[in-house]
């Protein structure tokens, strides 16, 4: 064969191959292809700011367009449309339903709006729909039942409303149904039990109400259940335990009540994550939860759970996070300690442990130092824990956040090996000085709060090594001497509070090196010298408090000082300023020509003062004479908590109350300027007395000191005063507690309901802590219940629990068991902050 023949054959073969390939490489007219025309119509209604659909035109083959996939054997038929996160905006065109062989529709994370076309129900081959992260409105089209091949429907994070259409119950092949983060309402339909192929059901963050149906237990293939942030009520159905494939249950932020079903721990051996926080669950933590050997996350916080923490939870060896905070959990009844912490040392993967805002008492066990080496978050705030902080806490080498505030801890601050980022030991009774090693174990700290303790001594210069710290609060202690200039090395500091100490010396100029400082509070110390001039040029400082020190000199009126007020400098007698807004005396010297007028003012003021004193003297003299005549006319008088003598016989106040019919108006003989006179029948009418009840402000001079009588109101005076015990501050604490109980319950201690040994304290204790709203003033409950704010009633209950707890502590019968008033103030201040207000 010649070379010419070979060349001819080669050219012929090449042209034949090229001709055969022509339909798939050259542009085709869209008029002959319905799918192509439908895609162009779909594009017409869209805004495409990023140009992702720029290639969608007739100059190229539509099967090669961005996001379009055609059938491998039917080249002109579209089977998948995937336009994910392209910034597209517009309505979903009904022309999309002409893609009759479409199996996959992915439009997530764009800005599609309007109604979902009902014509989608014509896509009988559709198996996957994802429109999450868009803005479609209206209801879920029931026409989707026509897509009987559907397996996955994801409509999360849209603006859909209405009920779940019953037609979805016909989609028997559905394995994934996600409707979270919408505005859906109604209840979970009973037909949900028909979707037996479901493995993932997401209904979270909607407005669903009613009970979780028992039929949910028919979904035996279910692995994930997201029902959180709705308004579901009633109990958790025990039938959920039939869903043995479950790996995650999320029922948080609902209105669920009752106990946690013990069945959950008996069958759900595959469960890895259990979220039940922020409901109204009661009862004890089921011991059966210890059977969930695969459990890694357990959230039971913000409920009304009570009793002890079962030590069996220590069997959960894969547990990583345990949140039990904000419940009514208590310490062990046998040894009044937190012994269950010892059991948790078996949880070798534990990373976060939150037990704050409960009723735990007793001391921390030394075994706390044996908790997981992976533990980086430990929170035991706002309990009743006492004793010293075990040194073993310092052995938790991974610990970065430690919260032990609002307890009764004492002793020294332990020095450990961990590199803490957040340390809060405020509102305790810690003593001693701030360790010089603080820079070692707080080298990476972001926040240090040791306020409201009894710490003393000098602030160590090593505090300046906390280069990463953003907030330091050492207020309400007894620190003395000078503020170390090394504190200026804390260059990341934004908040510094050293108020209410005994610090001396000048305000260090090194603070000007802290360029991000926004809050500086040095009030109530003994600082001297001038107000630093560098503050004028520091525009970052938003709050400055230098009040009640011994500062002197002139305060500038320019720069940052222009926006400050009187409260920043009050209590410094030596300060002056030319700015009226600072409320300080002017620094200018009085001119000579004003001296005569100044002396005239002095003379006039002294004259007026003398005249007023003379007038007051005359009034007092007349009142005393009149008071004496009134006393001589009275035949009997009664003062609170005191016996009264008649001849050789003693009458108690209780006897006089009975004799006067409870000082009934029917026995009122008359009223005077200083009291009222009642008729009293003694010994069944054999003896009649006139009993005069003096107003306590008109008691004769020297009367109390000679008789031991006490002023007061019925129900407010502590019981020990009636036994002859001297007046003390513990009596004031008792009276404060009674008023606290009265304020929340709106029941006076003299109410008729308090008889036969019942008093306000016993009444409140009968409802404490699980039925607080039964004793709270009904008007407060009605007002909170009427508010259209999620959690309003729960916040009321939380607030009242704090305040009634204070009232109960203050009204202990034994004065030695009452807290000092300083601790009462701390408790109330903390409760105020816990409710989200500034203390």
> pLDDT per residue over 691-713, tens digit each?
656 544 334 333 333 344 444 45
Q: For residue 1, with 0-12 CB atoms within 10 Å meaning exposed, 13-18 middle and 19 or more buried, which class applies?
A: exposed
Closest CA to 264 of 232, 236, 301, 222: 236
Contact 727, 714 (CB under 8 A): no
Half-sphere exposure of 619 (CA within 13 A, CB side): 6
Question: Is pLDDT of 315 > 60?
Answer: yes
Annotated binding site: 692
Reported as type and span, the H/E element at residue 203 is none
Supply 401's token pair.
Answer: 């956040």
CA-to-CA separations, 61 to 32, 58, 72, 77, 178, in angstroms, rounded: 12, 7, 15, 12, 35
Q: How many CB atoms lie within 10 A of CB 345?
A: 16
66 — pLDDT class (breaks 50, 70, 90): very high
Lowest mean pLDDT among 44-48, 318-322, 746-750: 746-750
Q: Where are the beta strands (DSSP E) in 291-370?
A: 297-299, 306-308, 321-323, 328-330, 352-354, 361-363
| Cα of 307 vs its chain's centroid, Å | 23
Model confidence at 565: pLDDT above 80: yes
Each residue of 334-356: pLDDT tens digit?
Answer: 666 788 999 999 999 999 999 99
The model's pLDDT over 621-657, given as tens digits with 9 standing for 90+, comes to 444 444 444 434 433 333 333 334 444 455 666 677 7
For residue 668, the model assigns a pLDDT of 72
Q: Are 209 and 230 in contact (CB under 8 A)?
A: yes
Q: How far apart are CA 177 and CA 170, in angstroms?
A: 13
Beta strand 306-308 with 502-504: parallel, antiparallel or unpaired? unpaired
Residues belonging to the binding site for ATP are 692
- Whose structure tokens read 């259409």? 165
pLDDT, residue 460, reads 93
DSSP 698-714: GPPTTHHHHH------T
Q: Is the pLDDT higher at 76 or at 610?
A: 76
Q: Is the pLDDT higher at 774 or at 174?
A: 174
Other beta carbons less than 10 A from residue 579's beta carbon: 16
- Which pair of structure tokens corresponds to residue 300? 């039971």
Task: Take residue 460 and report the two structure tokens written for it.
Answer: 């160590």
Instruction: State residue 432's pLDDT score.
Output: 94
Report the C-alpha gap between 257 and 459 in whole angstroms.
51
Determine contact, residues 152/129, Cβ cutoff 8 Å.
yes
Tell me the pLDDT tens digit for each residue of 157-176: 999 999 999 999 999 999 99
Max mean pLDDT range (453-462, 551-560, 822-831): 453-462
The rounded Cα 227 to chain-centroid distance in angstroms is 22
Q: Give 10's pLDDT tier (boundaries 50, 70, 90).
A: very low
Within 10 angstroms of residue 638's Cβ, the number of other Cβ atoms is 20
Please name which of 474, 531, 468 lies closest in space to residue 494, comparing C-alpha atoms. Answer: 468
DSSP state of 778: H
What is the predicted pLDDT for the residue at 538?
82
201-211 tens-digit pLDDT? 999 999 999 99
When pLDDT is averaged across residues 38-43 and rounded to a whole number, the result is 94
Helix/strand number for the chain, H first, E second:
13, 48
Note the pLDDT tens digit of each residue in 576-605.
988 877 788 898 764 444 444 554 555 455
Q: How many CB atoms lie within 10 A of CB 784?
A: 20
Contact 330, 796 (CB under 8 A): no
CA distance linking residue 754 with residue 748, whole number of Å: 9
Q: What percent of the chain has pLDDT over 70?
A: 79
Measure the CA–CA gap between 82 and 66, rounded to whole angstroms.
8
Is-above-0.75 flag for pTM? Answer: no
């Amino acid at each position: 064969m010649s070379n010419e023949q070979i060349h001819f054959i080669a050219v012929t073969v090449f042209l034949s191959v090229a001709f055969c390939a022509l339909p798939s490489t050259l542009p085709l007219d869209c008029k002959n292809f319905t799918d192509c025309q439908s895609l162009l119509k779909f594009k017409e209604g869209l805004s495409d700011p990023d140009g992702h659909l720029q290639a969608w035109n007739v100059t190229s083959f539509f099967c090669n367009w961005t996001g379009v996939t055609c059938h491998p054997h039917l080249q002109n038929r579209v089977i998948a449309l995937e336009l994910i996160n392209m910034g597209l905006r517009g309505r979903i065109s009904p022309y999309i339903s002409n893609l009759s062989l479409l199996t996959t529709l992915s439009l997530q994370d764009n800005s599609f709006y309007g109604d979902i076309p009902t014509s989608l129900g014509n896509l009988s081959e559709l198996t996957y729909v994802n429109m999450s992260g868009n803005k479609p409105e209206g209801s879920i089209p029931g026409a989707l039942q026509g897509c009987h091949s559907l397996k996955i429907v994801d409509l999360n994070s849209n603006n859909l409303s209405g009920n779940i259409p019953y037609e979805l119950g016909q989609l028997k092949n559905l394995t994934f149904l996600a409707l979270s983060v919408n505005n859906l309402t109604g209840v979970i339909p009973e037909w949900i039990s028909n979707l037996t192929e479901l493995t993932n059901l997401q209904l979270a963050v909607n407005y669903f109400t009613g009970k979780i149906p028992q039929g949910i237990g028919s979904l035996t293939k279910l692995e994930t259940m997201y029902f959180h942030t709705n308004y579901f009520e009633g109990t958790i159905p025990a039938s959920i335990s039939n869903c043995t494939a479950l790996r995650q249950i999320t029922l948080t932020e609902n209105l669920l009540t009752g106990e946690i079903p013990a069945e959950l721990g008996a069958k759900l051996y595959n469960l890895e994550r259990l979220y039940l926080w922020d409901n109204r669950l009661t009862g004890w933590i089921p011991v059966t939860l210890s059977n969930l050997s695969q459990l890694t996350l357990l959230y039971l916080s913000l409920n009304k759970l009570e009793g002890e923490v079962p030590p069996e939870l220590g069997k959960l060896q894969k547990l990583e996070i345990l949140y039990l905070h904000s419940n009514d959990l208590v310490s062990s009844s046998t040894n009044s300690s937190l012994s269950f912490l010892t059991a948790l040392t078996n949880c070798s993967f534990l990373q976060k442990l939150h037990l704050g805002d409960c009723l735990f008492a007793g001391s921390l066990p030394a075994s706390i130092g044996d908790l997981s080496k992976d533990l980086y978050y430990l929170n035991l705030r706002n309990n009743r824990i006492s004793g010293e902080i075990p040194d073993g806490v310092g052995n938790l080498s991974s610990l970065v956040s430690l919260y032990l505030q609002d307890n009764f801890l004492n002793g020294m601050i332990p020095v450990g090996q961990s590199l803490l980022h957040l340390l809060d030991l405020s509102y305790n009774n810690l003593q001693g000085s701030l360790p010089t090693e603080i820079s070692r174990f707080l080298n990476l700290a972001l926040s240090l709060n040791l306020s409201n303790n009894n710490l003393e001594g000098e602030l160590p210069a090593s505090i300046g090594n906390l280069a990463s710290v953003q907030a330091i609060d050492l207020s309400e202690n007894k620190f003395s001497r000078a503020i170390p200039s090394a504190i200026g090395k804390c260059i990341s500091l934004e908040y510094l509070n050293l108020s209410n100490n005994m610090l001396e010396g000048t305000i260090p100029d090194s603070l000007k090196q802290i360029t991000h400082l926004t809050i500086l509070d040095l009030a109530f110390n003994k600082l001297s010298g001038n107000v630093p001039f560098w503050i004028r040029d520091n525009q970052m400082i938003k709050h400055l408090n230098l009040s009640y020190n011994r500062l002197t000199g002139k305060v500038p009126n320019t720069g940052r000082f222009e926006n400050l007020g009187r409260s920043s400098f009050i209590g410094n007698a030596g300060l002056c300023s030319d700015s009226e807004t600072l409320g300080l005396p002017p620094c200018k010297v009085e001119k000579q020509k004003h001296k005569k007028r100044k002396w005239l003012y002095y003379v006039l003021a002294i004259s007026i003062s003398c005249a007023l004193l003379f007038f007051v003297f005359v009034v007092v003299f007349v009142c005393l004479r009149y008071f004496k005549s009134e006393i001589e006319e009275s035949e009997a008088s009664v003062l609170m908590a005191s016996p009264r003598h008649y001849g050789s016989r003693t009458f108690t106040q209780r006897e006089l109350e009975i004799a006067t019919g409870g000082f009934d108006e029917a026995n009122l003989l008359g009223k005077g300027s200083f009291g009222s006179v009642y008729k009293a029948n003694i010994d069944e009418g054999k003896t009649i007395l006139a009993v005069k009840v003096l107003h306590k402000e008109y008691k004769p001079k020297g009367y109390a000191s000679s008789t031991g009588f006490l002023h007061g109101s019925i129900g407010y005076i502590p019981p020990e005063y009636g036994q002859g015990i001297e007046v003390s501050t513990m009596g004031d604490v008792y009276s404060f507690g009674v008023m606290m109980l009265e304020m929340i319950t709106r029941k006076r201690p003299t109410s008729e309901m308090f008889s036969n040994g019942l008093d306000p304290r016993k009444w409140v204790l009968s409802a404490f802590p699980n039925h607080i709203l039964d004793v709270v003033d009904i008007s407060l409950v009605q007002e909170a219940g009427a508010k259209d704010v999620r959690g309003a009633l729960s916040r009321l209950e939380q607030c009242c629990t704090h305040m009634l707890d204070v009232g109960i502590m203050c009204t202990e019968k034994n004065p030695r068991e009452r807290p000092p008033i300083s601790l009462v103030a701390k408790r109330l201040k903390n409760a105020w902050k816990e409710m989200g207000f500034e203390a």
